[in-house]
Every structure is written in structure tokens, then in C-alpha cells.
Amino acid sequence: MQFTEEQIAFRDSVRKVVDKHVAPIAAEIDETDRFPREIVDLFGELGLMQLWVPERYGGPDGNLTMMCIAREEVSRVSPACATIAGLNTMFIMPLLHFGTEEQRQRFLPEVAKGGVVTAIAISEPQAGSDVSAIATRAVRDGDSWVINGRKQWCSYGVEADFIVLMARTSDASGSAGISAFVLEPKKMKGITFGRHERKMGWRGAPNTPIFLDDVRVPAGNLIGEEGNGFRASMRALDLNRPTIGAQCVGMAQGALDASVAYAKERKQFKRSIAEFQGIQFMLADMAIQIEAARALVYECAQAGDAGDWKRLTYLASMAKCFASDMAMKVTTDAVQVFGGYGYTKDYPVERWMRDAKLAQIFEGTNQIQRVVIARDLLGA
């Protein structure tokens, strides 16, 4: 994809911020698994967290391409910190596409201020890939809904000011009975969080279970119409998956850059290992795969920016699946280039390899992405 001058300027500005503020703390964040609040504050000031909030609500009025650019750049040094760029996308999208104007006027200007952390709660212990198996229940009680249940794998939920939560509001089969609500966990009673999951990668991006015990939610916090929750969550995922692909491109690019630099410096048999054809071919294959994934990610981003929803769903699954598989291969090869040093924490490639493995699983496993692609091909 050929970027415009504006997009290039945006990319370069993000790169400068990353090199100055994110690169110096990336290893420490992984080591301690701490939530980098200073990055939230910084990205909020720069408009990166709330990138997709439209201008009419006080936001930067960004788009999917800009989201992918930002996440690719940050992921060159830290995929975990990259999730903070555009973090609020999964909260913003259901409101933009399915919410009421009153809800948009109420919540989006708050998010547009920057520094506000949001989350989306879809998965449950028995409802991961199978979203239609959601058991968390919302029951209407006068001017409120009362919610009981449990959510799992809620990224940033424990830090969030607002959470979009999916709950079952009727006994309709499958996804038809699922609705979306805005929770305000710092104001509403009955919301508690479990322990932080101890993940192998994307450390610093907290994942915690959410327990909901008679949580009373105002009727005005139901997003759009009852029963639209599944559609809202799928639209949000379609628009977020390409950004996961961009993060995978970024971490793979970081791994390639580090491998090229190391291969030039590391000497064996009285010459740099970059002179050996075996290493050269590995580096060349890494570069080929990265460029192919990058092209797919930005082709998908263009479809999203054009509002081509049918093509977006198809390409989003491709971009997330192909790019994360690519990142796993490239980072594994990077560890190999570094040899014995590759699996020590003195170098970043082992961290990127761990991060790449997570990317193959979350936001819809790559097996599920292949199901989505096959269904589209077969017209199922």
C-alpha cells in the first residue's frame, strides 16, 4: 500500500514517540507485568487511545488505516503497549454502529478527552470461540437491568472506566438473545475482579475475570436495541482484528531488524554470520513474509475505511490469521539467528516470540479465523 503524505507524517510522529518513550521501558514492562499508566497518559494526550472517536464528539476522527499504522509502529518494540494505541476502539465501535445518538453524546466526548481506559467483556469460561454460548444474564427490573454472571479474559477491564459487556437478555436460541450494555465499574456496585492472569506474552496488558453479582445497570445503558449484542461484538471484532494483524507485522519487523543487526555483528569462523547463505536465506524469507502480511493488513484496512463490511469480515480473519502465523514463524527464526543468546532475556527476540504465540490465540483463534474464511468461500 502506498501511504499518503499525511499517513507518512503520522507514522513518523508515532515512531519518534515510541523510540523515546516506549522502547526504554518495554523489557521492564514484560519483566514486571505492570500496567504502564504513563503510556496511557501519553497516548491519551497524543490522541492515540481515542483515535477512532469522530470529530463531532471531540475526537481525532481517525480510521482503520491510522489504527493499523499506530499499532504496527508501537509493536516494533512492545506489542503489549501497542494495544494502548487505539485501546478504546472496542468500546467505541458498538456505540457508533448500534448505539443511540444520546449514548454517543454521553460517552464518546468523555473518551475523547484522552486517558480514559475502556474494555469489552465477551468471553466466559465456557464461551470463548463460541460467543453464542454466553450465560451471563441480564433481567429487566423497572428502569434498570440486573446482571449476574462471570466474564473471562477481559483485557484492561480491571483498569477500565467503561466496559461494554455482552449478556443474555432472552431465551432466544444462539446469539439472538444477546444484548450489549455499558458498565461503569468504578460507580456500579456488585462488580469485582479476579486475579490477573499470568500470561506468557503481552505482559503489562492485564487480563482478569469479572464477577457480576446483582449489578444494577440503567436501562439507558443498553446499547441500541435488545438482542443486538452479538452483531455489535462481531462488528467490533471485525474492525479490531486487522489491528492485531498490524501488531504482528510490527513485532515481526522488530525481530527482523534485530536479526539483521545481530547477524552483521556476530562472528563465527572469522567472519560475520551475515555472510553465510543459510542465514541470508532465513533473513530473506522473514522479509518476504512480513511484506506479504503488511500488504494484506492494509488491504483489509482500506476495506474497513470504505465501509465494505462483507469484504472486511473475510479480510479481517485473513489478516489476523496470516499475520499472527507469520509473526510466530519470523520470531522463531529470529531466536534461531541469535543462537544461544536468542533464548535469553538479554535480547528482545524471545519476548517477541512469546508475544507472537498469544496473537495466534486471542481475538479469535486462528482455527476460528479459518472457519470464517471457509464459510465465506463456501457461501455457508
Residue type, 362: F
Query: Which three cell numbers mark 208?
Result: 482478569
Characterize the bridge pairing of strands 207-218 and 191-193: antiparallel
Which of 17, 28, 4 lies closest to 84 in space, CA to CA?
A: 17
Query: Which three cell numbers mark 194?
Result: 479476579
Q: CB of 51 within 8 A of CB of 67? A: yes
Which of 64, 81, 78, 69 lies closest to 13 in space, CA to CA?
A: 69
363 assigned to active site: yes
| Helix H or strand E encompassing 234 | helix 229-265
Q: How far is CA 91 from CA 24, 56, 104, 299, 334, in A?
A: 29, 17, 11, 24, 35
Distance from C-alpha of 71 to C-alpha of 21, rounded to nearest angstrom? 15
Which positions ≥6 away from 254 have C-beta within 8 Å? 75, 76, 77, 348, 352
Distance from C-alpha of 156 to C-alpha of 356, rounded to nearest angstrom? 19
Distance from C-alpha of 91 to C-alpha of 70, rounded to nearest angstrom? 18
Q: CB of 233 within 8 A of CB of 227? A: no
Torsion (CA) 182, 361, 305, 252 in degrees, nearest 10: 130
Distance from C-alpha of 115 to C-alpha of 22, rounded to nearest angstrom? 17
Catalytic pick among 73, 159, 350, 363? 363
Neighbours of 329 (CB within 10 A): 15
Which positions ≥6 away from 101 have C-beta within 8 Å? none
Q: Which residues are catalytic?
A: 363
